[in-house]
Amino acid sequence: MPVESVFPRLEPLLPSVQKPIQYVGGELNSQVKDWDSAEVRWALMYPDAYEVGLPNQGVQILYEVLNEREGVLAERTYSVWPDLEAIMREHGIPQFTVDGHRPVGAFDILGVSFSTELGYTNLLTALDLAGLPLHAVDRREEDPIVLAGGHAAFNPEPIADFVDAAVLGDGEEIVLKITEVIREWKREGRPEGRDGLLHRLAVSGGVYVPKFYDVSYLPDGRIQRVAPNRPGVPWQIVKHTVMDLDAWPYPKTPLVPLAETVHERFSVEIFRGCTRGCRFCQAGMITRPVRERSITTVGEMVQQGLKASGFNEVGLLSLSSADHSEIGDMAKGLADQYEGTQTSLSLPSTRVDAFNITLANEFSRNGRRSGLTFAPEGGSERMRKVINKMVSEDDLIRTVTTAYENGWRQVKLYFMCGLPTEEDQDVMEIAGMARRVIQAGRDATGSRDIRCTVSIGGFVPKPHTPFQWAAQADHETVDRRLRALRDELRQDKQYGRAIGLRYHDGKPSIIEGLLSRGDRRVGAVIQKVWEDGGRFDGWSEHFSYERWTAGAEKAFAGLQVDVDWYTTREREEVEVLPWDHLDAGLDREWLWQDWQEAVDGGAEVEDCRWTPCYDCGVCPSMGTEIQIGPTGKKLLPLTVVNG
């Protein structure tokens, strides 16, 4: 059946909305494939505004991987701002893709990538605008399968009512497997309809279909058990791990945005995973083990990506880029190649050591030495032991001294507030550290023109981490500690003016905590908040704590649970956690032991890249292994393509 573009109806309305260019598509390297000759059609969504969604690596990779396949079509859709939402409702225009402006409801599958739980209300807006029932059980035969992925999908229970399925882990291979299951099912004449397709996906063991699992509760509100309710459906759903990143060198042809976006550069992921073992870090835990892309593949990707896009900035991405076994050669090789050109290189990097300064120097050959960011995360030595971030204050001072000596003038320090076992004093020590940083800069340069910016985020305990059992600090405590720190810095005549302090109040963290560790009962809260106007909750100007607490009060009425129960309550080892049936590979006993060690003062866990395996469980249970260099290969020769 031909599917018509909504663009002729949309275009005349765009002059009345903000930033209309974000809805028109047609970016360099975007694709519009023939609808009728495609057998399987994906709509890929990033549930935030275009400016945030377009640069998302996950969506760009899957968009290309899928479109490269014969008979497969993939288009992108993003959240529309409330001004366009109102107009679309008024004119009956459905949620559309920016590529072909096709209605999302016409696709076979809507894949939504969640980086943060605060995007959940935007999912509901998109479903509703697409004309899809909000609840998966109400969907009709012809409606797309709604599939969640991304880091937040490691606990999809709060959105279990709204999605048909979820996948855990790396997307490249599983989207193709899902595509083949759909293709087969369609070719066979759609046996047993929608339910038959979902069952085929579920029995594969790699796709979670929430409706095939029943959750029962104890009288006190805790979960009693989660059990499959269909034959052949596994008790545990496993995450996907791509083992050879060199075999998946995407994006090859990165999308070049038309409207302003948060990152305008070509990003190459130089490795996936992190085994440093920071106890708060969900990304590090769920992406294990470390798998490096080889130096030669990185070099080829940079060359190809710049040629295909015309970008003049390259970012080398990963969870801790300076840890790549060949980062020194890579940085020097790329810096040599692009020296004297307009191409700049960047390395989002947080490791606190002098080696990082050497790298930063290489990368700034073509640019200014503006700011360097380090993340001690915890204000006191005690706190850093608890979170397994083994950085001493002296290490930090040595590093920043080297940075200032090398011409850097701005240092940014990132911390968290509300960490387990934290006391007021731990946060106040941030002030002392910032003062020493300024003094080190003044001593190293003989100048008073030195700045240090301290950014503080509220800690949110996340599933699949050792802190998954922890009590989250209430927002009053977090706010009180941050206010005290602010007052201390304001009163400081000697250093105060050189130190900038950035922080948010603790309320959004509580809602993020509710959504991160929530179970299926939290879905009703999300729906109430959305019905009450909740949109773009990750944006402080749109977020309303009162709307969330009011929604929770209504949704939890008559139940044994409330927002505190999900957030500030510490869990016991025996409690069934909502995500226990979703297997990220981490051994539950290891996680518990690591949590106990944190509470007992924080025995250090080293990085298994360089020390023996300490049995976190991932490699044996997932059939994976650490993959690191050195490969002994060199980056050169490359041809400079962007002069």
Residues that bind ligand SF4 (CB under 6 A): 275, 288-289, 608, 613-619, 626
Residue closer to ligand SF4 (CB basis): 76 or 291: 291
**DSSP label at residue 582:** E
The span from the CA of 238 to the CA of 260, in Å, is: 38
The span from the CA of 288 to the CA of 320, in Å, is: 13
Residue closer to ligand SF4 (CB basis): 501 or 586: 586
Minimum separation from the CB atom of position 265 to ligand SF4 (A): 30
Minimum separation from the CB atom of position 613 to ligand SF4 (A): 3
Closest by CA position to 556, among listed 510, 513, 520: 520
Helices 424-445 and 393-405, axial angle in degrees (round to 10): 30
CB atoms within 10 A of CB 523: 22
Instruction: Strand 145-149: give its sheet, edge to edge.
Output: 72-78, 40-46, 109-113, 145-149, 165-166
DSSP states of 454-519: EEEEE----TTSGGGGSPPPPHHHHHHHHHHHHHHHHT-TTTGGGEEEEE--SHHHHHHHHHHS--
Minimum separation from the CB atom of position 288 to ligand SF4 (A): 4
Residue closer to ligand SF4 (CB basis): 26 or 620: 620
The span from the CA of 2 to the CA of 33, in Å, is: 13
Return the amino acid letter for 188: E
Residue closer to ligand SF4 (CB basis): 239 or 521: 239
Cα three-residue angle 568-569-572, rounded to 5 degrees: 145
Residue closer to ligand SF4 (CB basis): 308 or 626: 626
Minimum separation from the CB atom of position 596 to ligand SF4 (A): 18
- Say if residues 418 and 471 touch (Cβ distance below 8 Å): no
Minimum separation from the CB atom of position 352 to ligand SF4 (A): 22
Closest by CA position to 60, among listed 206, 315, 257: 257
The span from the CA of 192 to the CA of 141, in Å, is: 10
Residue with tokens 């640069």: 55
Minimum separation from the CB atom of position 575 to ligand SF4 (A): 24
Residue closer to ligand SF4 (CB basis): 198 or 608: 608
Residue closer to ligand SF4 (CB basis): 539 or 614: 614
Residues 227-263 as b/e (b if ≥16 CB within 10 A, e otherwise) read ebeeeebbeebbbbbbeebbebbbbebbbbbbeebeb
Minimum separation from the CB atom of position 627 to ligand SF4 (A): 11
Residue closer to ligand SF4 (CB basis): 289 or 506: 289
Q: What is the chain's alpha carbon radius of gyration, rounded to the nearest angstrom?
A: 25
Quick one: which H or E segment has residue 433? Answer: helix 424-445
Which of helix, strand or coil describes residue 40?
A: strand
Minimum separation from the CB atom of position 562 to ligand SF4 (A): 36
Minimum separation from the CB atom of position 287 to ligand SF4 (A): 10
Minimum separation from the CB atom of position 274 to ligand SF4 (A): 10
Q: How many residues does the chain have?
A: 643
Minimum separation from the CB atom of position 512 to ligand SF4 (A): 27
Residue 221 C-alpha from the chain's centroid: 30
Residue closer to ligand SF4 (CB basis): 28 or 613: 613
Minimum separation from the CB atom of position 623 to ligand SF4 (A): 11
Residue closer to ligand SF4 (CB basis): 288 or 435: 288
Helices 507-516 and 475-490, axial angle in degrees (round to 10): 140
The span from the CA of 319 to the CA of 330, in Å, is: 17
Minimum separation from the CB atom of position 341 to ligand SF4 (A): 39
Residue closer to ligand SF4 (CB basis): 445 or 621: 621
Residue closer to ligand SF4 (CB basis): 111 or 585: 585
The span from the CA of 641 to the CA of 413, in Å, is: 36
Residue closer to ligand SF4 (CB basis): 160 or 278: 278
Q: Are strands 499-503 and 165-166 parallel, antiparallel or unpaired?
A: unpaired
The span from the CA of 58 to the CA of 250, in Å, is: 10
The span from the CA of 360 to the CA of 501, in Å, is: 24
Minimum separation from the CB atom of position 284 to ligand SF4 (A): 10
Minimum separation from the CB atom of position 327 to ligand SF4 (A): 20
Residue closer to ligand SF4 (CB basis): 434 or 608: 608
The span from the CA of 330 to the CA of 327, in Å, is: 5
Q: Are strands 451-458 and 499-503 parallel, antiparallel or unpaired?
A: parallel
Residue closer to ligand SF4 (CB basis): 157 or 594: 594
